[in-house]
Amino acid sequence: MDPRAREVIERIVRAVREGDEAGIRILLAELAAVADIASLLYLRERLYAQE
Pick from 12, 2, 22, 20: nearest CA to 48 = 12
pLDDT at 51 over 80: no
Q: Grade residue 50 by pLDDT with cuts at 50, 70 and 90.
A: confident
Q: Would you give the DSSP letter of residue 25?
A: H
**Model pTM score:** 0.91
Euclidean distance between CA atoms 51 and 29, whole angstroms? 25
